[in-house]
A and B are shown apart, each in its own frame.
Chain A
Amino acid sequence: MTRSVRWGVALGTASLLASAGTAPVAAQSLFDRLRQAANVARTLLPISTTKEVEIGRGIAATIAGRYPVSHDTALNHYVNLVGLTVASVAPRSDINYHYAVLETPDVNAFAAPGGYIFITRGALRLIHTEAELAGVLAHETGHVNAKHVINQIRKSDTMREVKNQVDIQGGVLDQLVGGGTNMLFMGLSRGDELEADSLGLEYASAAGYDPGGLAAFIARLSQHAAEGPLADFYATHPKPDERVERLNAIAQHEGLAGGAILAERYRAIVK
């Protein structure tokens, strides 16, 4: 526990004990606060890894229903290799990472909980180098590792009725899958996207890729802003210029530079 957190706990305990020793009105207030805390705790019931994977599997099945998963074995193998390379930098030991290509001209990528990560053929067409692909997959891996979708699901109305992990099944599971899928298609919060950018930059750079890959790809999106396949992407992500500026600032602040770009290897496999 860090010192600042310890101080926070100490002050909270002190405040609680102090209020316990005062008048009955204050005691009433304490019980109200405890009840409120219990409600919050119940609302934010943790979701186990097993349940996270079940939810993620359902979301992934829905994504695969909307956009067919590519049967191009060599391409999927390559995307898995790049994805696992960036995931290996800071992996969650409790899940398996799966990467796959979706056959659609739409430009997008999705990260379902539990490690199911997709990138569209349209995005691959806009990407020029392996470093850019690594940046995009690292960004999506960041969403999984930071549990962005799962944390939103925990705050959902459906979870208010859930008392323990066993309750996450049947209709409840379907509702959570539906909610999570809508989040992915409608877009995560600006804060989650920017956090995933930071994590993506960190993972790709630590894996040995040029840290400018993700920023280069996002900058290229700006040049194609008016095109139809990018409509959903623009509707669900922060403005590209802001993201590029922020990524460049982080790279400069952290002193990240150099690394593999691998444009030829990318072109040889992604035709």
Chain B
Amino acid sequence: MSARGLLRLAPALAILAAATPRRAPAQRAQWTDVVYVPGYWSGGRIVTQPDSLALVMRVDYFSAPPRWRAEIRRTSDGQNLAAPEILVGSGDQGVVVTQLGTTPLDQHVLGHDPLVRALVVFDRAGQRQGPAGGRITDRTPDGKVVRVVFRRATRNPSFDTALLDPGNRAGGRTLLASGITAVGDQRSASVVATAGARGVDRVKTPGGDVPVPPDTAAISRIERYSVGSVALEAFLRTGGLGPYALPGDSTRRHP
């Protein structure tokens, strides 16, 4: 075929290539569980008390079945959430991602934690078990509350599914792109301007030009201020916001 013939054919090939159906990507889902147990924090320990709840961990889930990822942040004092422990999995099998590599969940200390075992539950197809959102109360057969989970789904999940792959070198870093923890503990030096612009000394307003002495010290003060993730969590809980806004209440009884 001549070069001119190829050129004539190219538009049709381009259209065909674009119109060829592609395999639909797995439906992505993202949700957060905030986990409480009966009691209150005192001196780094939880004192059991039936009529109050103590925050113990927050788990952020990212799912594109059959693959999934869970980032677990625990608190050991009720004040701060620790750096995340990361699990990735396929179907009902999970591995713990560490700086050095991966360890099957069953062989890792996390796998022996009943809370983790109760929360990181996927079926063989990698689908989430349990309700999509709302308050989930786990009780013993005699009705005692074991834990209360506030679950909130993210409406428009946006994350790189490549990071659900345990073989990905970047798999060990936190994937959390949305959620309270990310915005509450925002102290990423990489995106704080170091030099900073000086501002300008005159601005246009609807009422005419106005002289303005820029106040960079005020901005430095604003940047130094940080709201902790636990404080934000408490704010949400007392206001019935975020995961605490959902009216659903699912009760699960232990066998």
Contacts and interface: CB of A to CB of B under 8 A. Distances in A.
A20 interface: yes
B116 interface: no
Interface string A62-77: 1011101100000011
A148 to B, nearest CB: 17
A69 B15 contact: no
A64 B193 contact: no
Closest 8 CB pairs of A and B: A58-B197, A208-B245, A14-B11, A10-B18, A21-B7, A235-B206, A61-B199, A208-B241
A206 B155 contact: yes
B15 A98 contact: no
A88 B196 contact: no
A245 interface: no
A6 interface: yes
Interface string A49-60: 110011111111
B75 interface: no
Interface of B: 4, 7-8, 10-12, 14-15, 17-19, 155-156, 176-180, 182-184, 186-188, 190-193, 195-200, 202-207, 210, 212-216, 218-219, 221-223, 225, 227, 231-232, 235-236, 238-242, 244-245
A18 B11 contact: yes
Most buried by A among B179, B186, B218, B223: B218
Given A58-B198, A96-B191, A17 B10 contact: yes
B219 A64 contact: yes
Interface SS, A side? helix
Given A58-B197, A88-B242, A208-B244, 19 more contacts: A7-B15, A14-B15, A50-B191, A53-B193, A57-B196, A58-B198, A58-B200, A62-B212, A64-B215, A84-B227, A85-B241, A90-B155, A96-B191, A96-B223, A130-B239, A187-B206, A208-B245, A260-B241, A260-B245
On chain A, which size bracket covers the interface? 35 or more
24 contacts: A7-B18, A17-B7, A21-B4, A50-B190, A54-B196, A60-B222, A61-B215, A62-B203, A62-B214, A64-B219, A69-B215, A76-B225, A77-B227, A81-B227, A84-B183, A84-B227, A85-B236, A88-B182, A93-B178, A96-B192, A186-B205, A208-B236, A208-B239, A208-B240
B178 A173 contact: no
Given A50-B191, A85-B241, A100-B222, A61 B216 contact: yes
